[in-house]
Structure 1
C-alpha cells in the first residue's frame, strides 16, 4: 500500500505514453500534420477488411522454373558437346521432367562427353551471405549407357527461394508505379509472396500487373517457312513456334537476340499516323549498340517482339535503328498500353507467379465493418462499465478507470508497433473489455473473503491483491499461450485478432493490478474506512453449499452423451466449411435498388456452368453471398469464374463488395494448420499447468478444455454455422477463457488442500466451487455483456465467430464448475489426510504445497 514516487511516476509515464500514441489514430490528418515534430504521429494501420483493398497470395510456379531451367541447360549441353567438342548427341527430357538424357552418336566419346558436361555444374544460393550454396546438378548414366543430368531438389528449392526474393523487388516496383500508398509485400515460406494493397479495389487489374511475368524478348523470324509448314515438315533446328496476339502463330529462332533487361524506360504514347496507342521504349547504351547491330545486319527480315511467349508484333526491319529506341504496337487500349509500360519499367518477373489466394474488399464494405465494430465496442463498454458500478460501487469506478486506460494502452501499443487492426481485431478488443475486469473481480472477491475472515480493511486490501496475483497470472498466461499459437499459425485477420488479444492480456495485467491498487491505495489513505463496502450486487448469495459432487455422475453422463452427439454429428453430418478449408470463391454482392432478390441472382448464375453455386442472404436485405466451388482448371479457371459472375450480375444492378478466392492447395494447408494450432495450444497449456500445479490438475484442465472444444465443434456441425479461419480463432480463444475459470477453481482447491487436511476430497471440492462461484458468475456475465453486442452489432462477417464464443463461454463455465471436480478425483487427486505417510512420518507434496 506504500506507493513510492518511482512507482507513481511509472504509472503516470505509461498512461501518458499510451494517450500520446493512441490520440493520432482518432484525429484528422491535417491536425496530425500540425503537431510538433517530437510528438508521435503514427496511427493504427487499418486492415483491408476495414478500409478496403486487395490481398493476393502468389506462389512461384515450380514446373515453369524447372522447364525453363532444363531448356537453358539443353542449350548449354548442346553447345558444350557439339559446338565446342565436336561430339554428336541427341538430348531428350526424361519422364520425370527433372532430367535430361543424352545419347551419343559415337559411344567411344563418352569419357570426353562426361568430363565436358560435368564442367557445367552450378551452385545455387538464395542469400548473399551464405557460403558455397548447393549443387544444382547431379550426373549419372542409364543402364543402356546414356548420360543423364538431373536437377536436384535442393537446387530447385534454392533457385525458387532466390527467385522469390527477386520477385518481391519487381512486385514492389510495379505496385509503386500504380501510385498506391502503404502496400505490404512480404515473403511467406520458401515459394510464396503476400501482397496487400489498401485502397486499391480493382483486384483484376492488380492481378494482371503483379502476376504477369512481363518477360520481353526480341527474336528473328525464321525466313522461308511458316509455322504451319514447320508443324507439317518438322521444326528446323534451333527454332520454336509461338502464338501471336492476332490469333496466328510465328516460327522464330529460339535464341534471344536481345532481352528486355536492357530497357531503361518505357512510356505509353500515341502514334498519330496510325491513330493507335503504342508503347515507346528506350535501351541502355549496351542495348542500343546491340539493337543497332542487329537491325543493320538484318534489313529486310522480320523481327519479332515477344512478351511472355506471345508475339506482340513482328514487323519487317526497313532500316538500321541506331538511336536505341523504338515502339511496340499491337491491339492496345490506352489503359493496357499504360499497364504494359508499368510492367516494362519495373522489369520482368524472374519466374511465373500463380494466384493461390485472393481477397478483395470494397471501401464501402470496410466502412460498414468499422461502423459495426465501433457500435459493438461502444455498447459493450457502456454495459460493462455500468455493470461494474452497479455491482461494486466505488470499487467498480476504480476498475472502470483501469479498464478505460487498458483500452487506451491497447490502441497506443497498436500505433507504436505499427500493427494492423482488422475486424476480428476489433472483436478481440471488445472481448478484452469483458476479460479485463475479470482480474478486478477476482481481487475484490478476495478482499471480501479476507474481511469476512476478520482482517482489518488495510489487511484485507493487501491480502486481496497479494493472494489474487498468482491466480491472475495463471489465468492470463493460459490465454496468452492461445494468442501466441494463433499468431504464428494463423494468417491475415486471425493474426490481427491474436495481436489485439495478446496486447489486451498484457495491458490488463498492468492496469487491473497496478493501476487499480494505486487508486484503491489513494482512496484508503484519504478516507481510512472502518469497514470495506465492496460489493453491492451479486447473482449468487454468499455461503452457498450446493452439493456439486453428489450430482457429478449425472453431469459426467450428460457430458459424455453430449460429446458423443457432437462427435457423431461432426463425423456423419460434417460441417458447413468455408472456402478457407474447401477452396473456391465467395463473393459478396449488393443490390443498388433496394432489397436483393436471391432467386433472381440464382437464376442469373445457373447458366454459367460453374458447378455447385450457393446463393444466400448476407446480413442486410441488400447483400447476398455467392459461393462457387473450386473449378477443375485450377486458379486460372477460378479467376474466369469470377469474371463470368461479375458480367452476369452487372446487368442486374448488383455491385461486388468483396471477393475471396482460395485454391485447393491453400485451403488444405489452412485446415491442417488449424488442427496443429489446436493441438499445440492444448499441449503448451498442459505443460504450463503441470508445471504450476500438479499432473492431476493439468490433465483435468486439458480434459475439460477438450470437452469444451468438442461441444463447440458440435455446435458448428449441428447448427450449420460456417466453419472458417475465424472459427479456429474462436475455438482457441475459448480454450483460454475456459482454462481461465478452471485455473481459478483449481487454485482454490489447491489452497484448501493446505487448510483442510482432514476434509474428504469431494467435500473439499464442493467447498472450493462454492467459494469461487460468486466470482465465476460475475466474470462470465461481464464477458457475456461484451460478447452479446458483438453478436447483435458485429456484422455478418464475424457472426459465426461471435456466436461460437458466446456458446463456448457458457460451456466453459459449466465444465469448470461441475465437470472439472469429478475428473480431478478420477485422475487420483488425494486429500491431505490420504497422503500422510504413516510409516515414517514423512510428508508428500500435494497440489504444489508440501505438507
Structure 2
C-alpha cells in the first residue's frame, strides 16, 4: 500500500504540478497575464455577479400575448380567405375570445365550400427541422349549424411559445450586445423563460427598460375624419382606435388600424441630431419593400398626419409635407441622447413576439462585490491559518504533511474551477473555506487509525500501511453521502447556491486524492528517508488513548432531550413565523449605503411608508452607514414588484448608493419553496438508499432519523434566532445533511467492523467501544470544521452570515447526533437480537457492563 512505482509517482507529481499551474493565473492581475506568452495558461476563475457586480434577470414570456396574436392573425386569415373565395362566401359574426375564433356562414349551401377554403387553418405545421413531426395548431368545431369555431390547441400554444421563445432569445441577445457589455449570458430556462446575466453592469434600470419593451414599431395614418374629442365622448369610427402619446399628460390620437409599414421592414436605426434644432432624433432606413410601401402611402396622403407608434403609444404624429421616397426618415419626440440611443437599440434588435415580464431580479453593485471578495479572502486566510495550526498541534510532523496536502487541495479546487470555467460566487468562497475544514477529515481518519494500529502492537510501517488501507472504505462512504446532497443542491439550486454546490463538490472529490493518495505518497517518502522507529509525537493530545466513556448509559436521557427539543422546534415552526427571505415569500430586498455619514433609519422608514408600497422593514446591516430594506410582496403581481424598486430608487438615490437589489415575484418564490422541499426529500432518499446498500437496514434508518433530527434542530435555530431563511439557508441545511451523515458513517463503519470482530459482545458495549475508538476523529474533525466556519461567521461579511451561522450550529448538532442519536438507535432497532436487556447487565471479562 505504501509502495509507489516510479511511473505512479511521476503521474501524481504531474497532477499536482498541473493544478498548481492552472491555479497560478488567479494570483496575478489580468494586465500582467496579457503580457505573458500565449502558451502560458492564463485562464482565471469566473467571478459570479455577487463578486464582480452586475445583474441577473429572469424574464417570463406572456403566453396570453401569443394567443391574442394568433387569434387576430386567424381572424384576418378567415376574412381574407372567405372574401377571396370564388365565388365569394358570405359570412357574419367574425369574432374571437379566449382561445377560439368563430364565424357564421350566412348561406347554408356555402358551408362545405367555406370548410374547404378554411382548411389551411387546421392543417398540421412542421414542429421543427431536428425534432421532426408536426403540430395541429387549431381544431374545427362545426357541431352548431352554420357556425364554424376554430380553437387553438394546447400543442399549438406550446409550439408557438417555443418558437417565440427562440426568437425572443435572439432579440434579447442583440439588445444586450448593443449595450456594449462584456460577456453577457442569455439562455433559455424552462418552457417560457429567459435568463439574462450581465456582469459589471452599472445601470440595471436601463437594462430592464430595454428588455421589458416589446418594441413593436408601426407607421399608421391618423384618422382625421372626426375630432379625437368626439371619438372620446362617443365611439371611434369603424377601423380606427384611440391611442395615447408618451407625453405627460398623454395626448389622445385617433389612429387608423391599418398598418402602412412595420418595424420588420427596418434595416437600420441610429441615434443622431436634427440639423435644424440640434435635438436628439432617431434616423431609420427601410428595406426595399418597406421603402416602396412607405413611399406609396406618403405620396397618396400629402398634407395628412401619420403616426409613428411604439408598443401602442404614439411617439410622434408629423404631417406629410411631400412624398418620402428614399426609404429613410427621422423619429422625433422629446428625446434625450440616451433615450434616443435606447430606441435605436430596440429598433435595430427587432421586436419581441410577446411581452417579457421580469419575475426575478438580483443586482449587485461593483462596490459590494469588491467588499465581498475582500471579506472572502480574509475569512479564507484566517480559516486556513487556524486549521493549519490546529493540525500541527494535534499531529506534529504528520500534521505538517497533512497541511502540505491541504495546500495542494486548495490549489486543485482553484485550478479545476479555472479549467472548467465554473463561476465562483460568495457562497462558493464559503464552500472552499468549508472544504478546508473538512479536507483534513480524511487525514484525521487515517492518522487516528494509524495510532490505533500502533497501539495494538504493529510496527510503524505496518501501522501506517494498515491505517491507510482500513480508512479508505470509511473515507469513500463518508464523502459519497456528502456528494449526494451536493449533487441534489446543484441540480435544484440557482445562482450563488449552485456556485456553492460546484466548489463544494469539487472539494469533496479532490479531498479523496489529496488526503489519501498524495498524503500517502508524502508519508512513504518520509518513511523511506527517515526510517522512523516511532510515530511523530504531537504537542497536544486532545483525546487520551483508551477513553471509556459510557455513552450508551445515558442514551435514554439523550433520547428524551432530543425528542423534547425536536418537538419544541416543530411547535415553534408551526406557531412562530420563521423569517422567510424573499426567495420563499416574494418581495424586494434592497441594500443601500449612505453617501455621507451614518444612515438615518427612521428617516428612511418614514419616507418609504409615505410611498404606500405595503409592508416595509428597515434595519442596519453591518456598518452604521449600511441599511437593508425589505418590501413585502405586492398585490399587483410581477410588474408591481418592479414598480416598487423604481419608487424606492427615486426616493433615496440622492442620498444613498444602491449596493444590492433583489426582487422575487410570487411565481418564482413559490417554485423555490417547492424546489427546496423536493431537494431535501431527494437528498434524504438518495442517502437512505446508499447507506442501505452499504450497510444493513438498521444503519440506513438510524442515519436518516439522526439526519432529520439535525434538520429539525437547524430549522428551530432559525425560528429562535430570527435569522433570514433563504436559498443560502437551504444550501446550509443540505450541507448539514451531508456533514451529519459523514460523521454518522464513520461511527457506523467502526460498528460494522466491530460486529465482525466481537461476535459475542453485547451491543451496548460494542457501541461504546466503537464511539470511543472514533472519538478522536469525531472531535478533531468537528474542531477543524468549526474553526473554518468561525472565520466565515466573524470575517465573511453580512451577506452570508445566516448561511455560515446555520452551518456552525449544524456541525455541532451533527457531531452530537452521530454519537447520541444514530448509535443508540441500533439498540432500539435490535441490530443484534441476542443483545437483550439481560445481556446489558451481563459481565464481560469479569466486570459488569455499564449501559
| TM-score normalised by L of structure 1 | 0.95
Stretch moving more, 388-397 or 268-277: 268-277
Q: What is the rounded CA distance, in whole Å, between the counterparts of 2:361 and 2:728 in structure 1? A: 17
Partner residue in 1 for 2:75 = 74
User: SS of 2:577's equivalent?
Assistant: coil
Q: Deviations over 1:605-651 (max 9, x none)?
A: 12111111000111111101110112222222222221221222235
Report the CA distance shift for 1:535/1:749 in structure 2 as closer, same or farther (over 3 A). farther
Partner residue in 2 for 1:796 = 798
Does the CA contact (< 8 Å) of 2:141 and 2:150 recur in 1? yes
Q: Deviations over 1:533-567 (max 9, x none)?
A: 35443322111111111211111111111111001
Partner residue in 2 for 1:328 = 331
Q: What is the rounded CA distance, in whole Å, between the counterparts of 1:626 and 1:597 in structure 2? A: 12
Residue 157 of structure 1: CA displacement?
1.7
Q: Deviations over 1:689-725 (max 9, x none)?
A: 1111111111111111011001101111122110000
Q: What is the rounded CA distance, in whole Å, between the counterparts of 2:290 and 2:15 in structure 1? A: 60
Stretch moving more, 154-163 or 216-225: 216-225
Residue 738 of structure 1: CA displacement?
0.2
Alignment of 1:264-663 (within 5 A): 264-533=267-536, 535-651=538-654, 653-663=655-665
Partner residue in 1 for 2:100 = 99
Q: What is the rounded CA distance, in whole Å, between the counterparts of 2:563 and 2:234 in structure 1? A: 75
Does the CA contact (< 8 Å) of 2:684 and 2:704 recur in 1? yes
1:110 and 2:111 are equivalent in the alignment: yes
Partner residue in 1 for 2:243 = 242
Residue 166 of structure 1: CA displacement?
1.4
Q: What is the rounded CA distance, in whole Å, between the counterparts of 1:143 and 1:549 in structure 2? A: 80
Q: What is the rounded CA distance, in whole Å, between the counterparts of 1:825 and 1:90 in structure 2? A: 79
Residue 168 of structure 1: CA displacement?
1.4
Partner residue in 2 for 1:221 = 222
Report the CA distance shift for 1:568/1:743 in structure 2 as closer, same or farther (over 3 A). same
Stretch moving more, 453-462 or 508-517: 453-462
Does the CA contact (< 8 Å) of 2:747 and 2:771 recur in 1? yes
Does the CA contact (< 8 Å) of 1:403 and 1:433 recur in 2? yes
Q: Deviations over 1:313-368 (max 9, x none)?
A: 22222222121110011121111001111111122222210000111111111111
Does the CA contact (< 8 Å) of 1:82 and 1:88 recur in 2? no
Partner residue in 2 for 1:210 = 211
For structure 1, the residue ranges without an aligned partner over 5 or more in a row are 835-851
Q: What is the rounded CA distance, in whole Å, between the counterparts of 1:642 and 1:558 in structure 2? A: 47
Report the CA distance shift for 1:275/1:47 in structure 2 as closer, same or farther (over 3 A). same
Does the CA contact (< 8 Å) of 2:106 and 2:146 recur in 1? no
Residue 800 of structure 1: CA displacement?
0.7
Report the CA distance shift for 1:124/1:33 in structure 2 as closer, same or farther (over 3 A). farther
Stretch moving more, 231-240 or 207-216: 231-240
Q: What is the rounded CA distance, in whole Å, between the counterparts of 1:407 and 1:66 in structure 2? A: 53
Alignment of 1:138-157 (within 5 A): 138-141=139-142, 146-157=147-158
Q: What is the rounded CA distance, in whole Å, between the counterparts of 1:288 and 1:687 in structure 2? A: 69
Residue 435 of structure 1: CA displacement?
0.5
Q: What is the rounded CA distance, in whole Å, between the counterparts of 1:623 and 1:100 in structure 2? A: 56
- Give the RMSD, CA atoms, in angstroms: 1.7
Q: What is the rounded CA distance, in whole Å, between the counterparts of 1:126 and 1:677 in structure 2? A: 34
Q: What is the rounded CA distance, in whole Å, between the counterparts of 2:31 and 2:273 in structure 1? A: 40
Q: What is the rounded CA distance, in whole Å, between the counterparts of 1:538 and 1:428 in structure 2? A: 29
Partner residue in 1 for 2:186 = 185
Report the CA distance shift for 1:231/1:125 in structure 2 as closer, same or farther (over 3 A). farther
Q: What is the rounded CA distance, in whole Å, between the counterparts of 1:390 and 1:553 in structure 2? A: 36
Q: Deviations over 1:248-296 (max 9, x none)?
A: 2333332322121221111111113234211001112332223222322
Q: What is the rounded CA distance, in whole Å, between the counterparts of 2:11 and 2:237 in structure 1? A: 81
1:6 and 2:10 are equivalent in the alignment: no
Report the CA distance shift for 1:39/1:772 in structure 2 as closer, same or farther (over 3 A). same
Does the CA contact (< 8 Å) of 1:760 and 1:831 recur in 2? no
Partner residue in 2 for 1:59 = 60
Does the CA contact (< 8 Å) of 2:127 and 2:133 recur in 1? no
Does the CA contact (< 8 Å) of 1:123 and 1:132 recur in 2? no
Does the CA contact (< 8 Å) of 2:89 and 2:114 recur in 1? no
Does the CA contact (< 8 Å) of 2:217 and 2:311 recur in 1? yes
Does the CA contact (< 8 Å) of 2:281 and 2:330 recur in 1? yes
Does the CA contact (< 8 Å) of 2:75 and 2:96 recur in 1? no
User: SS of 2:259's equivalent?
Assistant: coil
Partner residue in 1 for 2:843 = none
Does the CA contact (< 8 Å) of 1:546 and 1:766 recur in 2? yes
Q: What is the rounded CA distance, in whole Å, between the counterparts of 1:83 and 1:407 in structure 2? A: 74
User: SS of 1:30's equivalent?
Assistant: helix
Q: What is the rounded CA distance, in whole Å, between the counterparts of 2:711 and 2:99 in structure 1? A: 46
For structure 2, the residue ranges without an aligned partner over 5 or more in a row are 837-851
Report the CA distance shift for 1:383/1:617 in structure 2 as closer, same or farther (over 3 A). same
User: SS of 1:758's equivalent?
Assistant: coil
Alignment partner of 2:735 out of 733, 744, 748? 733
Residue 39 of structure 1: CA displacement?
2.0
Does the CA contact (< 8 Å) of 2:105 and 2:146 recur in 1? no
Q: Deviations over 1:125-161 (max 9, x none)?
A: 6643121232111221465763211111221122112
Residue 93 of structure 1: CA displacement?
2.7
Q: Deviations over 1:643-691 (max 9, x none)?
A: 221222235x222111111101110001110001110110011111111
Residue 237 of structure 1: CA displacement?
4.0
Q: What is the rounded CA distance, in whole Å, between the counterparts of 1:738 and 1:81 in structure 2? A: 72
Residue 240 of structure 1: CA displacement?
3.1
| TM-score normalised by L of structure 2 | 0.95
Partner residue in 1 for 2:817 = 815
Partner residue in 2 for 1:128 = 129
Stretch moving more, 205-214 or 629-638: 629-638
Does the CA contact (< 8 Å) of 2:122 and 2:140 recur in 1? no
Partner residue in 1 for 2:43 = 42
Q: What is the rounded CA distance, in whole Å, between the counterparts of 1:138 and 1:411 in structure 2? A: 57
Does the CA contact (< 8 Å) of 1:201 and 1:360 recur in 2? no
Q: What is the rounded CA distance, in whole Å, between the counterparts of 1:802 and 1:144 in structure 2? A: 70
User: SS of 2:60's equivalent?
Assistant: strand
User: SS of 1:279's equivalent?
Assistant: strand
